[in-house]
Structure 1
């Protein structure tokens, strides 16, 4: 039968994990209470870290996926050329980039800034000129249509598809007309006149990304090239087999194209936003790690009190022949057990919340009658969660290291106690 070292049994008893009979003493109950508070502090800190980082991961993933449901993985801009000419020649560019096996679909586009006017309402928008027949290969727009069909956009008909949020803001429905103004004016005998065109709403879409649903409009690429011939950019949109490799694929494609073609991937176009999220995640980890650090200091304090409370026990063990190293290991075991139990409790609790946050948050919102993420303010209206193994392991290891470091000083102090002095005062 395997015989465990006695330091393990005594350390477990001091940590509050020993038998109930061993904890009937008043001093033992006090030590167990202090150990329990230390465990609770570590567990709360670890759980908070896991939940917050999971929510930030989910927020980043959800916004990214909703962005890429409307935006392409890679865009090729043709500079120094009229948008109308680019649209007519886009297939030659597409054939060239489709030689890369990672490219799965291509479609032309015209990008411009404009304004929509409906009665007294005037809204600044981003205009995307697209080819309805090929757009489904590079985005999820055809599957996000709320009313009408994307194929209702026909060259020369000057139809427009708006986000459902933008349509509601303007108060328009399918079949209504809106006036679009281009930033470039026409010069005629009467002077400068704004360049504008009436468009008919042929459908609405909803991507779930409030910023796009309220500011992004789609028209036929030919119509867009005519209206924005001086101010628009034109080129080809691509969808690749792995969006995470989009920067690498974009660089490979860029090396094969002439100098008047610029290649940009989705991470570059939204680089500021994603960099801000990563910075916020790192800072949030450091800030919330302070909760675990405070719990570790609490553990250190509890062990110092335990050493003070157990001086008589230490003196008796030393009198029976225990070495200073064995005494130190008793309190190392005590602190390690508190840290391990607290960390495991925090990991399990944090994972339980992180994996069920889509149920917990709506329940809280119904109880208090308020919404945590209003669509008008945030990109998304629900609280997502994406627990990642790497984050959970990092948090758990960090907590264990802090707990073990906190046990070193009290263990050293316990090993330095002299039994003769302790017993003389007792």
Structure 2
């Protein structure tokens, strides 16, 4: 093996004397390194978006909902909560009601979707991590309190303590038009999660909503936080089908699932595209080795005449080509890991320096570029690049091993 190593390194050093062969070799190394670097970096960014989706958005919105078909609400919901709480995948269950209507302040109007929650239960929920303690206090003490998304409050130019009017459409059996129901609420504060949620959602106390909507059972539905949010569809159907009362079943994938699907689609496209980039770079290894074999044909013939076996000739050129791949993988992986670990801080510094924002919080659910490095992504990327590099050496190495000493020296 030491002889094979010495021959491979000597052929590699001698190859640098030929400018064109040296350029082909360097381009293959650079291409492999660049592919590894970009693949690791983009996968880390996708991991970061998925982390923020799970920790930020899915901590705020319910993972699943069961809401009654009957206008009277969920029967015996305290007992239902106690039973559902024993399910392995359920972390928390809350009663709720939902109101959709127009919020009016003076001449300004805004369509909103208000979720009514029990203040004592909701104050300990993860969604209230985005709300100031002072706002929480007002929400728990004022029975007519309303907390709105930041964009809604800005559009209506609301100040804490302002009274707003919620207009709710009234549905009749004969579909005749009647005046909308009016609920007067007191604005006590706002939250900012980012994206479209800030522009359309808010919260109010459950008791007030139940009284205004005439829900006799005290809750329109149950909302769930699950320990396995990415299995919400299966879990919610299991819970819904086992429930005695007729209910509608919903989960977060119906409303926000497009975000998760977009992340997975981009991840797949990135993986395919950049693996192909690495494969194309590896083709340069083939070109470089083929030219090296043609250039060193006489040297190979002499070595084989002196007793060097065809297998060792093959291993020599395989090792020579693999060295290019290893250097590219090592450098690209190292730079990719360092960049992925520091990208968020670097981008934030550049944004502050230039006074620009890469991601707008009004559009996206995050206003920064998140990254999260997964070492399995690094290992898979490196292994794929090395395998492709090794495969690229097979043809020229076999061609060198099949050389006839007589023809090579003629």
Q: Distance in 2 between matches of 1:276 and 1:191?
A: 41
Pair 1:221 & 2:211 matched:
no
Change in Cα spacing, 1:102 to 1:293, as seen in structure 2 (3 Å) is closer
Residues paired across the two proteins, number:
406
Corresponding residue SS for 2:96: strand
Answer yes or no: is the 8 Å Cα contact 2:321–2:390 preserved in 1: yes
Which of 132, 151, 155 is matched with 1:165 structurally? 151
**What is the aligned-residue RMSD (CA, Å)?**
3.0
Q: Which position in structure 1 is the counterpart of 2:364?
A: 378
Q: Is the 8 A contact 2:117 2:203 kept in 1?
A: yes
Corresponding residue for residue 129 of structure 2: 143
**Once the 2 structures are TM-superposed, how far is the Cα of residue 348 of structure 1 from its aligned partner?**
1.4
The yes-or-no answer on 1:118 pairing with 2:105 is yes
Q: Show CA shifts across 1:238-291 (max 9, x none).
A: 334554665565455445421413454445654343223212211221112222
Tell me which of 85, 90, 93 is aligned to 2:80: 93
1:12 matched to 2:3? The reply is no
State how far apart, in whole Å, the 2-side matches of 1:47 and 1:41 are: 10
Counterpart contact for 1:131–1:221, Cα < 8 Å: yes
TM-score, length basis structure 1:
0.84
SS class of match (2:220):
strand
Do structure 1's residue 393 and structure 2's residue 379 form an aligned pair? yes
Q: Which residue of 1 aligns with 2:403?
A: 417
2:342 corresponds to: 356
Once residues 227 and 155 of structure 1 are traced to their aligned partners in structure 2, the CA distance between those partners, rounded to angstroms, is 19
The question of whether the paired residues in 1 share the 8 Å contact of 2:123 and 2:136 is answered with no
Q: 2:96 aligned with 1:109, yes or no?
A: yes
1:154/1:145 Cα in 2 relative to 1: closer, same or farther (>3 Å)? Answer: closer
Q: Which moved more, 1:4-13 or 1:152-161?
A: 152-161
Greater Cα offset, 273-282 or 247-256: 247-256
Tell whether 2:181 aligns with 1:184. Answer: no
Give the 3 Å change call, closer, same or farther, for CA 69–417 of structure 1 in structure 2. same
TM-superposition CA deviations, 1:66-120 (whole Å, max 9, x none): 112222344322222324xx4x843232223234365443321112322223344
Asked if 1 retains the 8 angstrom alpha-carbon contact of 2:69 and 2:247, the reply is: yes
C-alpha distance in structure 1 between counterparts of 2:221 and 2:12, whole Å:
67
Q: Does structure 2 retain, via aligned residues, the 8 Å contact 1:147–1:203?
A: no
CA change 1:370–1:203 in 2 (3 A) is closer
SS in 2 for 1:67: helix
- Give ranges in structure 2 of 5+ residues lacking alignment: none
Candidates 188, 194, 207, aligned match of 1:209:
194
CA offset digits 1:193-217 (Å, max 9, x no partner): 23333321012223x3332222211
Match of 2:17 in 1: 26
Structure 2 residue aligned with 1:19? none
Question: 1:70 maps to what in 2?
Answer: 60
2:271 maps to which of 285, 288, 293: 285
User: Is the Cα–Cα contact under 8 Å of residues 76 and 263 in structure 1 kept in the other structure?
Assistant: yes
In the alignment, is the contact (CA less than 8 A) between 2:240 and 2:249 conserved in 1?
yes
Match of 2:46?
56
| Partners of 2:50 and 2:352 in 1: CA distance | 25
Q: CA deviation at 1:141?
A: 3.1
Equivalent position to 1:38, from 28, 35, 43: 28
What does residue 314 of structure 2 align with?
Answer: 328
Q: What SS does the aligned partner of 1:149 have?
A: helix
Cα separation, partners in 2 of 1:175 and 1:294, compared to 1, 3 Å: same
- Gapped runs of 5+ residues in structure 1? 17-21
How far residue 325 of structure 1 moved from its aligned partner, in angstroms, is: 2.5
Question: Structure 1 CA distance, aligned partners of 2:137 and 2:77?
Answer: 19
Deviation at 1:135, TM superposition (A): 1.1
CA contact (8 A) 2:196 2:363 kept: no
